[in-house]
Amino acid sequence: MRRLMIFVMTMILVGCAAFQPYQATQPIEKDTLNLGALSLTSSVELYIIENEEQITASLEALHLPVPHIVFEATAEDKRQIQCLARNIYWEASNEPSRGKVAVAQVTVNRAADDRFADDICGVVYERDRVKVRGRMRTVCQFSWTCMSVKNKTPQNSDNWDDAVQIAQKFVLDGTSLPELEEALFYHAARIHPRWARQMVKIERIGNHIFYREKQKQTGIYLASN
């Protein structure tokens, strides 16, 4: 339904000459991976996300109804893109492109698993209460969300642009990294967490090692990175 509404919106925009062809996300300079540009439908959706005020003004000037259902849908996509981009940025800014994509893949995998939160933002900011040495502690699934950086604006514009581009591909186009479609966990290569012994190593990408489960488990997990 949302895609249909966006398509209708596109036709309105084209018919009113309000829509200029949006320059879809350019491919990230390849080091180990090239994601390619956004699909046409996703490019239109991204245009709507980034130009809502202009589009609304154009429609109102032509006395056309403003399709709030479209803006509500794209607003939610914008929120998910921001959450995923922040996770990529703070978790993998110094990683190669494929390492950034791998972090995005784990995040999306968790959102699709009913043992984690239902959407990307929920997964990124998920916290658990666990007992450590007899005391209950709050554990962040992604450590940066428990640190002061969670409220900071990313400073490295190139890394932030990369993170946003990758997030757009995952949220709008459903991009995936097939070899990591079962990956739910990773950690920095410099550490050796106990939980990793119960997992199956998939591969090391940059400074992170990615894992899948030996078999489906139940319950809540400790932070994995």
Tens of pLDDT along the chain (225 residues) come to: 555 555 555 554 544 434 444 443 444 444 556 677 888 888 888 888 888 888 888 888 888 887 787 788 889 999 999 999 999 999 999 999 999 999 999 999 999 999 999 999 999 999 887 766 777 777 889 989 988 876 777 888 899 999 999 999 999 999 889 999 999 999 999 999 888 999 999 999 999 999 999 875 544 444 455
The two structure tokens encoding residue 71:
């803006």
Nearest 5°: the CA angle 150, 83, 107 is: 105
| pLDDT for 131 | 67
Of 63, 64, 50, the C-alpha closest to 20 is: 50
Q: Please, what's the b/e burial string for 132-163 (b: 16 or more CB within 10 A of its CB; e: otherwise)?
A: eeeeeeebbbbebbeeeeeeeebeeeebbbbb
Please tell me the number of Cα atoms within 13 Å of 73 on its side-chain side. Answer: 17
| pLDDT for 45 | 85
| pLDDT for 191 | 92
DSSP 30-63: PSS----PPPHHHHHHHHHHHTHHHHHHHHHHTT
Q: Could you tell me if 208 and 177 are in contact, meaning their C-beta atoms sit under 8 angstroms apart?
A: no
Of 45, 161, 186, the C-alpha closest to 109 is: 186
Give dist(CA 40, CA 10) in Å, integer.
11
